[in-house]
Chains A and B, each alone.
Chain A
Amino acid sequence: MTGLLGLRDAGSLLTLFILLAACGGDIDDEPEPAFPGRYQALPGEPTMLSGATILTGTGERLDDADVMMRDGRIEAVGQGLDPAGARVIDAAGKWITPGIIDVHSHLGVYPSPSTESHSDGNEATSPVTAEVWAEHSVWPQDPGFVAALAGGVTALQVLPGSANLVGGRSVTLKNVPGRDVQSMKFPGAPYGLKMACGENPKRVYGRKGTSPSTRMGNVAGYRKAWIEAAEYRRKKAEAAEGKGEAPTRDLRLETLAGVLDGEILVHNHCYRADEMSVMLDVAAEFDYKITAFHHAVEAYKIGDLLAEHGACAAMWADWWGFKMEAYDGIRENAALVDAAGACTIIHSDDDYGIQRLNQETAKVIGAAARAGIEIAPEHAIQWITRNAAQSLGIGDVTGTLEPGKMADVVLWNGDPFSVYTRAERVYIDGALAYDRSDPSQNPVTDFTLGTSALAGGAQ
């Protein structure tokens, strides 16, 4: 069973779905999926990690248990598994978690070195640039991908920046550096749409003397865009039914219509509680869903509202005060959101933070304990695995250690929430992508060839 649903197949399934959907209307109107993914898993071998403490990502903790990976998939998780021809890695005393997933990264679009020539994350020329796609800016030679891999990151969403009200499409990648972005695209992952509240859009355009220059201008801008998108969508639907002429293809409105169709997930940069609340009403007005608020520094003030709307909050552990809308940041933010029953995610938005999402999570666990809220490691791990995967629309295929899912797995040399712990082995689709004890086998992007960047401390 697991072998049948190979990685390529997952991608093909999505293609098939799109083609089937297209067949419902006039197939000539539906463009072929552009920039199709070409990701291929690294060659792997059946592998059993044996005798570890396992945080499954489903909220469970298993002690002295094994993970069996075969044909790129998790085959089984439990105690006393039969190694049956697999390479066995003794993981006694070690910990295993699902691969870490970062829902907010700018790797590739704001890569290292951060030169002006590399600054490809914000198309800050118009407040609504739904027509741009982050994948067209991704430089796969960014050394940050490898550094993130060493931190256990197996998948990540790369987003446009937050200069614009609508910044463009995001792309979800497997963290396997390739020659081009297409060979990193996560098979079957839906697109995301980056939207931004607050200070950034109003500052960027206010300084140009154009709208928006205020938060109310921001909201007027979203509503104007959604009105156009709804109109475009209506005309297309009518044309499909033979009523009227189809509108000229418009990349900007096509992406926005994709959100209204529920095919593209909204990832909304938004710090303040009151602004998130307004955005939920904008979404209600135009009948779309906000999948996740990103940064969400004040999410702890509206945990109940987020839970009610099924919107995730993707947060830092402790960033605060670097701008006005981050002034009310507290270390317990994620813990309070979690306690309110809302979908809780720890994200990075940073080429260093992405290397230590486990540590950022640990800081929240400690702060929560200080406030009298106990959070078990098997629960907290979900913030950077399962919940992250679900918010990216890939929760069915990765994010937990369940049979049939992609074998995206991290073997840690200790409790992942200790500062002294490091990812020892990182498997992506069952293949060893990173091995701390054997740097010679680890990926090196073209840019870092001949330097010592990322090196050191292998033992």
Chain B
Amino acid sequence: MNRLILLLVAFASTGAVAQTTAIVGGRVHTMGPAGTLENATVLIENGVIVAVGAAVAAPPGATVINAAGKVVTPGLFSPLGNLGLVEVGFSAGPVDAVQRGQQFTAGFDVADAFNPRSTLIAVNRIEGVTRAAITPEGQGEESHVLSGLGALVNLGDGTAGIDKRAAVLVASLGEAGGGSAGETRTGALLVLRNALDEALDYRAHKDEYERGQRRPYVHGVADLEALQGVLSGDVPLLANVHRASDIETLLRLAGEYRIRVIVSGGAEAWLVADSLATAGIPVILEPTTNLPGDFDQLNARRDAATLLATAGVQIAFAGPQSHTHNARNITQSAGNAVSEGLSWNEALRAITRVPAEIYGIADRVGSLEPGKDGDVVIWPADPLELTTYPERVFIRGVAIPMQSRQTLLRDRYLQMNSDRPPAFRPATQ
């Protein structure tokens, strides 16, 4: 009996138990071929969307959520950052997103360090972020030419946080990569090319290498193995790069080695938008970037997202203004892109569907379509507006508690007239 209860609890917490939720009557932005539907229903069974439409009826026994007058969107997808890899970034314990003291750590895999119970997870998911790419990274002197493998995670209840391991390999070129490679961008490229060449040689002569009959490599087996997915085209190489000329170099490199690349940062990507569109290379950018933070970003401009989208480049949003602790602020980034000319629909796509496409899991998330995971957010109004916060968030069909350490702090100190010290105030719901 106890065992059965435990089993049921376990199922319930993964959302795998038979349960049906109908979100009824909202304005549904599917981000799929159905477009935007008025007064529509999203039906979720066992964590998966089974129907979306105005004519969909809630079956008997379904939990019905009235979303009349509300806005319903797919869960937001943060395409970069360190969610679950860090609590406090600076002078307060480990940050599991960077391997310090090395310039090349392709084999560094963040997935094993992911903590689905990190306080950052709840803070961000109650504001609509349901999926994230978690990416290794180092800043400044800690930057790497290759910093390691990123993973895709969901921000659900913590039982099955990792959706995909080795989803992306992260590189830094230009000024960022140069910092760890002899202070030059060519140094960074040299390191990267040599690594790819060694990985190719290793792939072709693995047996000889194992027998010690191959020339010595600069890189170890872990790094060379990590690069195999990139060479086979299964794993995209995400390159932190701003300067247009460096992006052009990256394009050449992608052609030579026939690898898939993603531009991250891309302050000057708009200058080579047509080439990026032709090559089908997506750009993850912070659309508000308009300052020459360094000489690689001399031509940053505030309507870059619009220019890229107009040229046909796939864009997703992330960057310093919407990073890790505040991944939730990608809605603000998207709203700002709209004010600089991007269509509202494209802006919402950039924080839902496009990241899923870039990382190859659009068959599971990113849009509200039958067969997709039940990641759904109910908003009282325009989700890109600064004053709008979600009312309900579902991850894989499970309604997450709308509570975080921040809401608990808030509620404790809202009790301003209490005569008890804060530590003695009961938590409110």
Contacts and interface: CB of A to CB of B under 8 A. Distances in A.
A453 B291 contact: yes
Interface string B273-300: 0000000000000001011111101111
B410 A319 contact: no
Nearest to A366: B387
A356 B389 CA distance: 19
Contacts of A304: 416
A319 B297 CA distance: 24
A328 B409 contact: yes
A367 to B, nearest CB: 7
B339 interface: yes
Contacts of B32: none
A420 B339 contact: yes
Nearest to B304: A456
A115 B294 contact: yes
Contacts of A112: 291-293
A100 interface: no
Contact of A113 (B295, B306, B325, B406): B295
Interface string B402-418: 00001101110110100
B306 A457 contact: yes
A370 B304 CA distance: 33
A340 interface: yes
B1 interface: no
A285 B389 CA distance: 44
B325 A321 contact: yes
Interface in B97-138: 119-120
B386 A419 contact: yes
Q: A-side binding surface: helix, strand, loop or mixed?
A: loop
A383 B307 CA distance: 35
Nearest to A303: B416
B306 to A, nearest CB: 7
Contacts of A329: 406
B375 interface: no
A115 B298 CA distance: 13
B340 A321 contact: no
Nearest to A359: B386
Max chain A CB contacts within 10 Å: which of B320, B336, B385, B413?
B413
Interface in A310-350: 318-324, 326-332, 336, 339-340
A455 B301 contact: yes
B228 interface: no
B422 interface: yes
B6 interface: no
A336 B414 contact: yes
Given A323-B91, A330-B406, A454 B301 contact: yes
Contact of B301 (A362, A363, A452): A452
A371 B414 contact: yes
B45 interface: no
A439 to B, nearest CB: 11
Contact of B332 (A143, A203, A359): A359
Interface residues of B, number: 52
Interface string A348-374: 000110011001001101110111000
A323 B384 contact: no
B349 interface: no
Interface string B293-317: 1110111111110110000000000
Max chain B CB contacts within 10 Å: which of A144, A199, A320, A330?
A330
Contacts of B325: 319-322
A215 interface: no
B321 A352 contact: yes
B402 to A, nearest CB: 10
Contacts of A351: 291
A459 B335 CA distance: 16
A451 interface: yes
A456 B308 CA distance: 13
Interface stretch (B82-90, B158-166, B186-194): B82-90
Contact of B341 (A323, A339, A365, A457): A457
B326 A319 contact: yes
A268 B302 CA distance: 33
A421 B293 contact: no
Given A143-B291, A451-B292, A363 B304 contact: no
A114 interface: yes
Contact of B88 (A203, A323, A420, A451): A323
B249 interface: no
Contact of A419 (B120, B332, B410, B411): B332
A448 interface: yes
B416 A340 contact: yes
A286 interface: no
Contacts of B411: 371
Contacts of A303: 416
A418 interface: yes
B338 interface: yes
Given A301-B413, A320-B325, A321-B87, 19 more contacts: A304-B416, A318-B329, A323-B88, A323-B92, A326-B88, A330-B410, A332-B410, A336-B414, A359-B336, A365-B387, A366-B386, A366-B387, A371-B410, A419-B339, A453-B290, A453-B298, A453-B299, A454-B301, A456-B301
- Which 7 residue pairs are nearest across A and B when measured between Cβ atoms? A419-B335, A366-B387, A456-B303, A457-B303, A362-B386, A456-B301, A457-B340
